[in-house]
Structure 1
Amino acid sequence: MATVYLAIQESFEREVALKVLSPELLKDPAFGERFLREAKIVSRLVHPNIVTVYDVGVHEGHHYLSMEYVPGKDLKAKRTGLTRAQGLQVVRDIARALDYAARKGYVHRDVKPENIMLHDEDGRAVLMDFGIARPTGLEQGMTQTGTAIGTPHYMSPEQAKGKPVDARSDLYSLGVVLFLLITGRVPYDADSAVAVGIKHVAEPVPRMAAPFKIFQPVIDKILAKNPDNRYQTGMELVEDLDQISDDDLRRVDELIELAAKRLQDNQTDPDSPTLISSALDENQTGEIQAANTAEQDAVAMHWPQSGQGTPVRTVVQAPASNPFGASHWLRNTALFLLLVVSAVFFLRSYLPAPWPDQVTEWHHRGLDQLVQAGLPLDQPQWHWLYELGGASHSTDRASGGQTEPVQTPQTEPEKPSVAAPSPAPKTPPASAVLPAHADKVLADTRPVLTDDGLRAPAEDPVAPMDDPFARADALLAGLATDLSGLTALADIYRVQMEVPENRARAQQGVESVRAFFTDALQQALDQRDLERVRELLDAAHKAFPALADESRFRRFERKLEAAEAIEALLAQGKAQLARDALSSPAGDNAVESYEAVLAKEPDNVQALAGLKAVADRYQVLAASRLKDGDWLSAKGMVTRGLRIQPKHQGLLAQSEQVARLEQQLRERQASAQAGVQSAQSALAAGNVFGTSGAVAQFQQVLALDPQNQAAKEGLAIVTQRTLDNVRDFINQDQFGRASSELALAEPLLGQDPQIRALKNELQQAIAARQPRLDDVRVGAVQPLTFDGRQGLVQGVDRTIYIGVQFSNFDTAAVVQAVLFDGARSIQIAQVPVVLSGKQGEKIFRIDRPVEGFSAGGYNIDLMLDNRLLISQRFQIVE
C-alpha cells in the first residue's frame, strides 16, 4: 500500500517515518481515501503506546504521512528473544493503547506482531498501522458487506464472519498475541484462511499444559467466543496480568522457552500478511468444510536437500466435519483414497526399502476417513488398506515413528529405482473398527512437556493397533485435555459390546467414562467454568447418548442451567449498577438481581460483593448531596444504602453526619418559630421598623430558616402597608409624610422592587407639584407671543422684553432674571420679577441705556430660591 522512508524533518531537525502511498494505487480513489483516513484517525490518538502522526498531505500528486520514528524492530522479529516478563509488558502496553483508542471510539482491526514495534530506547511497545481501523459506530465504510478484513490467525470470531466489531475484537486479537508469546504458537492453525477462521468460530479455547495453567483463566476470558464474556476494556486485562508475579513467571519461564523452541520448527508462520477474504457464514460452515475436504487433506511431498534418504511430507489437516455428512462428502473421500492408492503404488515402485514411516500416518488417516464416512471396514474391498497398514506399521515400529523435519528443496534429486517388497495380505478382525481420530493416538516421538521439564517419550506409548481396549485406554487417558477422541472411544466400546467375551470389559470402560465425566463436570462446576461444563455435556450427549440421559447427567444439566441463570443475574446486576439503577425502579435494579442470586445461592461471593458495591455507590451519591447542601436527599441515599448493608462503615458515618445536620435544623426551626412570634407581636404593637422592629425580626428568622413561611408572610404584610401609606400621602399632596415613611422602610425593604417603584413615583409627584416656568420668550417690542420656537431678535436698541409662562405658584413669589453673554462669562444684568397667582404669563424688560445691546448671543436664567427654574438662549441681530 505504501513505502516508508526514514527522513529528516528540516523544520525541527528530527527523524521521522515518512509513509508515501504508491502512485499505482491512487488509480483507485479508495486507497487514497483509506490512507488519509488512517492519518486522521491516528492524529486524534495521542498516547505513548500509539504511533504519533506529525503531518499528512499531498505533494505533487504523492500522498504522504509523516509520523514518529520508532527505532527498533517489530514484535514478529523480536518475540523469540523476549523474556516472559517482557512479553507480558508488551501486552500490557498494547492493552493500554487499545483501551485509549476504544475510549476515543476507534477499533484497530489488525492487531498482530507485525503491527507492534518495540522501541529500542525506552522499551515501550507502540501500536502501528491504523490503515484498516475505523470508528466504532461507522455503519458504512470501505469494507464490503460480508467480507472479513484482518489477519486470519488473529481475527476474532465475529471479525472472521464479517460481522460488526468493537473494541472487544481488538482484545481478542491481542489475546492471540498473548497466547503466542506464552506458548510460541498461535491457538488455531490450519492450511487456509477459511480453515483458520472456522477454528476461531467453532473450536473451544485451547487448554494449556500444567506449567501454563497460571495463564489459563486470562486466555479463557480474552479468547471467549462471545464478546460479552471477554474483557470489556483493555484496563481489565492489564489488571489481571498484574496479578501474575515475577516469581510465577520464573517458575514457568524455562519450561515455556523450551516448549517454544520445540514448537518453533513445526508451526506455520502466524505472522502472515493481512488478508481481505470472504467472511464465514455460520450457516455455510459445514458446506465450506465439506467442499474443501479433498483440497485441505492433500499431501505435499518434499525431497531432502541432500537428495538421499526417505522423502518427507507435510500433511495438511482439515477442520473436523460431520462424520456422517452428505453424499458429496463420500465422493470426495473416495477420490482422496484413490489418490492415496495411486501415490502408494507409485512410491512403492520407486522408493528404497524399508517402507517410509510417513505412509503409516497416511494409512491411519485413510482408515479414519472411512470410519467417519460410516463405511464397514470388515468388507473384502478394504483389505488392501490393511495390507498397506501392515507394511507401514511394522516399518514405523522399526524406525521408532521418527520423522524428519520438512525442508524446502533447492534442487530435485534423482529418483531411486529400488522397489520395496510387497507384504503378505492381512485380514482385519471383525472388531477392528478404528476410532474416528485414530491418528491422534499413534506413536508420538516428540519430547513431552511435564511439570518437571522435557522428557523423552516412552518407547511404545500406544498399544498395538489390533488391541482395541489398549487404544480405548489411551483415548480415555487423553480426555482430560482433549475431548476430540470421545467419538472414537464410543465407537470402540459400541463394537466390543457386540462381542460376548469383551462385553464385560467394554461395560467397565463405559463405567470409567461415566466416572470421568462425573469428576470433570463436578470440577468444572466447582471452578464455575460453565463453558467447560457445557462442552463436557455436549460431548457426552453426542458420543454416549444413553449415558448422558442418566439422572446424574440430567442433574448436571440442571446445575448448569442454574449456574447460567446465576451468571445472567450477576451480569444483569452489574449492568444495572453501572447505570445507577440501584434499588429502583421495581423489577429493574441491581439489588433485586443480586438478591435473586442469593436466594438461589446464599453464599455467592459475587452477589455479596455486588450488594456491597451498591452500598458503596449510595455512599458516593450521599456525599455528593451533602456537598451541595441537600442533606434531606443525602439522608434518603444513606437510608437506602443501610437497608442493603446495615453495617456499612461509610454509610454509618454519613448517617451520624445527617443526624447532626437534622438536629441543627430542628434547633434553627425552634429559634425561628420564637422569632416569628416576637415579630408578630412587634407588628401588632406598631413597632415595624428599627433594629428591634417587626421587619428586622422577620429577616432574622429567614436567615435561620430560609423557607419559613410565616416570616415571608409577615414581611409581605409590612411591605403592603408601607405601599398603601405612601400612596395615600402622595394623593393628599403630603409629600413630606410620604418621604418620611419611605425613609424608614427603605433601609430594610429597599431591595423590594415595589418599594423602589414607589420611591420613583413620589419623586415624580413632588416634581409635578413644585412651582415651575413652562416657557420663555425674548423680543425687541411688545406684545410677545409664545407660539413656535424662540427666533432671532431684531431691532433692539437699549431695551429687550422678556415674557414667561408660570404655574404651581400658590402665593406671590420673586424670581430673579439673570442675563449673561453668549459664553456665560459676563453677567450683564439681574432683574427681580414678581409673579402673582397660581399660574399665568408675565412680561418684564431689561434696559441697557448707555451701551445698548450689540449683536450676538445671550443667555437668560430664571431662578427661585437659588434653584434654576428655566434657561433660554437667544440671538440678537442687526
Structure 2
Amino acid sequence: MIEIPGYRVLRPLGRGGMATVYLAMQESVDREVALKVMSPTLLADPTYGERFLREARIAAKLHHPHVVGIHDVGRHGDYFYIAMEYLSGGAVLDEDGRARDVPFALRVVREISKALHYANAKNFVHRDVKPDNILLREDGSSALTDFGIARANDSATRMTRTGAVVGTPHYMSPEQARGRTLDGRSDLYSLGIVMYELLVGRVPYHAEDSLAVGIMHITQPIPQLPNEYKALQPTLDRLLAKEPEQRFQDGAAVCAAIEAIERRFENGELQDLVRARPRTPPATLAVAAVPPSFGQRAEPSFGSIDDIAVDTPRGSDYRRAQQRERKGSGAGARWIFVGAFVFLIAAGGYALWRNQDKLRALLPRTELNDQLARGEAALKAGRLVGTNGDSARELFEAARSADSDNEIARGGLRRVGEALIAQATEATASRDFATARARLADARALLAGGPAVEKAEAELKRAESQGTQIVELFDRAEAALANGKLLGADGAVALYEKVIAADASSAPAQAGLRKAGAALAAQARELVAQGKLDDAAARIEDIARAIPSDPSIPNLRADLATARTAAGAAVDAQLAKAQELLRAGRITGTGENALALYQAVLAKDTNNAKARAGLGQVVQALVVQANAALDEDNATTADRLIRQAEQLAPNSADLAAAKGRLRELREQVEIAASRPVATPEQQQKVAGLLAAAEKAAAAGKLMLPPGESAYDRYRAALAIDGNNAQALAGLQDLPQRARDQFNVAVGEQKLDRARDLVETLAQLSPGDASLSTLRARLAEAWLDEADRRVGENRAQDARRALDAARDLAPYNPRLTVLEQKLRELGAGGSGFR
C-alpha cells in the first residue's frame, strides 16, 4: 500500500490507465474518502503532474448535489493525489452491465444533466461522461466524478495517453472524435449514450478498434431504442444529434424534457414504459438501488411490509415481538371487557332496585304497548309510511296521540324519519328521483327539517342536475352514432364514455358503446381491404382503447397482420422490379418504369426507406443523363431531364451543379452566336497563346504563376475564340496532366511539389474521384519521410513531415506511432536540427 501523509489507506477500489483509486480514512476529520493517485509513469511528461493538480483545484470549486465533491489536492513525492467524496453505491451500472429500469435511468439522466448545466455555466466541459464516472450515494442519488481530470488530460496536440483523443471512444461526441473544439453540448451527447446504455444494457456502437468506434459516432445513424421505449426516442434523438446545433443546447433543457416524461409516467401514461420496467426479485428491498419516485420521495417502491421485516436486521425477532404485543393487547382487552360487563350488571341491578316504584308507574297500558310493539315491527320490516294503518309512522303517531308524552313513540318517529332519509339516499344513488323526493318530504314532515334532511335534499338536487346532463349526453351520443360520427371529442365513443363515467350502470350507454365499436370495426375491415393499413391499425387501437374487451379486436389484429405480410411481399416485389428497371435504363417515361413503381410504393407507405432510396437513385440517373446531354451540347434534352429530377429532389447538390452547367452551355451558345468571326491578327494571337499554354503545361505550370500558367493562357485563347477546339481540349486535359505530374513528384520524393499538384487538381476538378486516393498516397509519403527523419535524429524535419501528413489524413493510425517516436526522440536529449 502507498503512504500519503494525513491519510490511512484501507483498500483499493479500482485501477485505470491513469490512476488508482483507494478507500482511505482522512485522519484529520476522521472521514472516509476516495483517494485518487495518479500513476507515476505519467511523470515522463514533466508538465503533466502540474496540469493534473491545477485542473483538479479548479474542479474543487464545483459545488453541486450531483457532482462528486473534492476535499483535498496535493503531491507527496512522486504521488499526485486527489481526495474525493466517497460514494459507497458504486458506479451507475453493475459490472455485469445489465439494463436498469426506466425510472432509475430517467432520474440519473435528469440529475447528471443538472450537474452538467451547472458546470457548463462555469465554462467547464467534462469531456469524459460515461457510466464509470457516474456514482451512486447510499440514498440512490447519482453524482458525476472526474471533473477537471479529463480537462487535465488535454494538450496542445489534442492527444494524451499514447495518442488517444481525450475521452472514451464509446461515449465521445462526433466533434470530439474529429478533434474539434468542444463545449457543453458534447457532454450532452455523451450523456445520451449513457441513457441508451442504461436502458438497453450496452453501448450503441461497437467496432474492433477505437478509431472505428469514433468514425461510427460520426457516420452511423442515431441508434433506435427497443419498441417498448419508443416514447423516449425523441429525447434520445435530440441528445445524440450529430451536429451540436441540433441537440439540446444546455443541461437545463435536458432536465425539462426528462421531467415532462416523468410527469406523464406519474399520470398513468406511457403504459409501454410501465410494462418495460424490470421487476425486483421478491422479498428484496434495496433502498439505495431503488430510485426515488418522481415526486422527489425516496420511499422504496417494491416489496411488502412482511418482506421488509424479513430482510431487515433482526426482522424475525421484530415480527415475534409484534405478535407477542398483539397477543398481549388482545388478552388485556378481553379482561377489561369482562370487568366492565360485570360492573355494568352490578350497577344496573342496583339502579333497578332503588327505582322500582317509579318503574312500575311507567309500565305501558296494554293497547298502547301493542301499538308501540307493532310500530317497532313495522320499522324493522321497512314499512315506514302508508295509508293502511300498519306503517311504522301511522302506529307511532297513534301511540303518541294516545300519550303525547310517550318517549318511546317520539323516539320511534325520529327513527322513522332517519330511515326515510336513508331510503331517500339509496333512491338518489339508484337514480329513482321520484321515490327520493317522496321519502324526503315525509322525513321533513317528521323531523321538521334539520341538517340531515337538508344534506340529503342537496344530494338529490345535484343528482337530478347530473341526471339531466347525462340524458343530454346520451342523446348527443345517439345522434352522433346515427350520423356516423364515431371519434373525436363530440364523437359517439367519447360521449358514451362520459355517460358511463357518470353512471357506470347505464346499460343503454354500454350498448351504444358496443355499437360504436362495431362500426369502428367495420371501418377497420374496409381500410384493410383498401390497403390503408396504417389507418386500419389506428382504428383498431381506437376500439381497444374504448372497448378493451371487444371480441372483434383479436380477429382484426390478425387480419391486419396478414394484410401487412401480403402488402410487404407485394412491396418487396415492386421494389425488386423497380431496381431491375433502373439497371435496365427504364427510368421514366411511358410504360413500366422505375420511377412509377417507386412512387406507387410511396403512395401506400410514405416512409418506405427503400422506395425513398430508389427515388434518390432515379434522381441520380436523371442527373447523369442530363450531364451526358450537356457533354454533347444538347441543351434541350438536358433541360427536360433536369426538370424531371427537380420535381423529385429540388435540393439535390448534383442537380444544382447540372443546372449550373446548363446555364453555362446556354450562355456559351448565346456568346458564340453573338461573337464576330476572329480576324487574321486574332487568329495569330490565339495560335501564340495555345503554343505558350502547351509549353507551360509541359513545364508543370498548370495554374501558377497567374497569367503565365497553362490554365490562364487557354482561357485567354477562348476569350478571343470561344469555340477553339484546341483550347477546350487543353483545359479538359489539365486534370490528367496534374495527376501525371503528381505521380512523378511522389516518385522523385518532391513532396511539396506533389502537395501543390493535389491542390491544383482540387481547383481544376473539385469533384474528382481520385483526390482522396492522391491525398492518402501523399500522406503515406510524408509519414515515410517523417519516419526517416526520426531515424536520422532530425526532429524538426520529422515534425514538419508529420504535420503535413496530419493535414492530409488526420485519422491515419501511423500518426500515433510516429508521435510516440518523436516524443521519445525529444526525451532522449537529441539535438533539434
Q: Shorter chain as normaliser: what TM range?
A: 0.3 to 0.5
More helix by share: 2
Q: Which has the larger radius of gyration?
A: 1
TM-score by length of 1: 0.33
Q: Taking structure 2 as the reference length, what is the TM-score of the superposition?
A: 0.35
* Greater strand content: 1
